[in-house]
Amino acid sequence: MSAYSRTPAPPVRAAKGLVLLLCCAVVVLPFVAVVATSLAGQRQINAAGGYVLWPSPVTFDAYRAVFAGGVVTRALVISLLVTTVGTLLSLTCSALLAYALSRPGSLGSRPLLMLVLFTLLFSPGIIPLYLVVRQIGLLDSHWSLILPVLINGFNVIVIRSFFLDLPRDLLDSARMDGAGETQVLWRVVLPLSKAVLAVVGLFYAVSYWNSFFSAQLYLNDAADWPLQQVLRTFVVDNSTMGVDNTALAGELPPPQQAMQMAVLVISLVPILLIYPFLQRHFAKGVLVGAVKG
């Protein structure tokens, strides 16, 4: 065993373990409380003073009421659509742009690369960007949530540095075999770059899913809002959620607290679903590689 990896003294180990356990608890406990409360009934919530850590009995009334209300369902559909369409478009445009910039010495690639790099230095400013979006008629359209953030310069640079590291011989031999430019890109480059495309795609997806300010800035009609905006009004600003009583067939509506937590859980689920994939890839040092470049 090397000198470095020698196991430290027991008190040191205990202290480290305690610190890490505390860190993990601080991260995990809020989620546990949120999920548990969303599944708890009125009586238990009242008895516990608002929040529970273990629901008993488990009830899905809060979710039923939330989905029956219509507002959250509509926002969820909007968020899913914007995220899917946005991610596909972002990934396609970013990958194509990155490929176009990945052949040193090609016509215009240097100035274009500079234009992309400079976007990392400054942000366009809220007011002028708002005016551009309004000028081209995107206000109150869901495209305003996608087009202004379609290209993230950093992501383009990440993909580009991956393309640059692909073995040149491979691309050259494909060309020798008579593959056209489109085929080289489609059959050789993109299949070899699945890992980086997956990471960048996931990052785009997370940012589309999470953004709330574009909706606040560009969409006036609350009926157009994505989930994060709805979450904000119900859970952060504590507006009372309307309950469609016909759907409950005469029963008492579920506690407001449980419904708020249910909306929170609904907005969490997609992130938790893709998190394992995200995690598998970002550990591969894709980001680090980009910073090095």
Partner 1 sequence: MALLEADRVAAEKPPRRDPATPTWRERFRRDRFLLLLAVPGMTVVLLFQYVPLLGNVIAFKDYQPYIGIADSPWVGWSNFGVILNLDPAFLTALANTLIISFLQVVFVFPVPIALALLLNSLVSERLKRLVQSVLYLPHFMSWVIVVALFQHMLGNGGLVNAWLRSKGMEGFSLIGDPELFKAVITSQVIWKDTGWGTILFLAALSRVDLSLYEAAAVDGASRLRQLWHITLPSIRGVIVLLLILKLGDSLTVGFEQILLQQRAVGVDASEVLDTYVYNNGVINGDWGSSAAVGLVKGVIGVALVLGANKVAHIFGERGVYSR
> Does residue 16 bind partner 1 (CB under 8 A)?
yes
CA angle 242, 245, 248 (to 5 degrees): 120
Q: Where is 70: in which H helix or E strand?
A: none
> Does residue 235 bind partner 1 (CB under 8 A)?
yes
Tell me whether residue 100 or residue 164 sits nearer to partner 1 (CB atom): 100
> Does residue 188 bind partner 1 (CB under 8 A)?
no
Residues 113-152 close enough to bind partner 1 by CB under 8 A: 115-116, 119, 121-132, 136, 147-151
CB of residue 235 vs partner 1: minimum separation in angstroms?
4
Contact with partner 1 (CB under 8 A): which of 18, 88, 223, 236?
236
Six token digits for residue 66: 């939330």
**C-beta separation of 229 from 212 below 8 A:** yes
Stretch that binds partner 1, among 56-64, 162-170, 208-216, 245-253 (CB under 8 A): 208-216
Tell me whether residue 55 or residue 148 sits nearer to partner 1 (CB atom): 148
Q: Which residue, among 157, 162, 153, has the nearest Cα to 189 in the 3D structure?
A: 162
Alpha carbons 242 and 184: distance in angstroms, whole number: 55
Alpha carbons 98 and 108: distance in angstroms, whole number: 13
Alpha carbons 124 and 230: distance in angstroms, whole number: 27
Q: Tell me how long the chain is.
A: 293
Alpha carbons 208 and 146: distance in angstroms, whole number: 8
CB of residue 250 vs partner 1: minimum separation in angstroms?
29
Alpha carbons 160 and 200: distance in angstroms, whole number: 11
Residues 155-184 close enough to bind partner 1 by CB under 8 A: 156, 181-182
Contact with partner 1 (CB under 8 A): which of 14, 18, 22, 30?
30
- Whether omega before 270 lies within 30 degrees of 0, making that bond cis, reads no
Residues 34-93 close enough to bind partner 1 by CB under 8 A: 34, 48-51, 92-93
Q: Where in the chain does DSSP place strands (E)?
A: none
CB of residue 246 vs partner 1: minimum separation in angstroms?
29
Q: Count the site residues for partner 1 by CB under 8 A.
A: 91
Tell me whether residue 20 or residue 245 sits nearer to partner 1 (CB atom): 20
> Does residue 18 bind partner 1 (CB under 8 A)?
no
Residues 260-289 close enough to bind partner 1 by CB under 8 A: 260-261, 264, 267-268, 271, 275, 278-279, 282, 285, 287-288
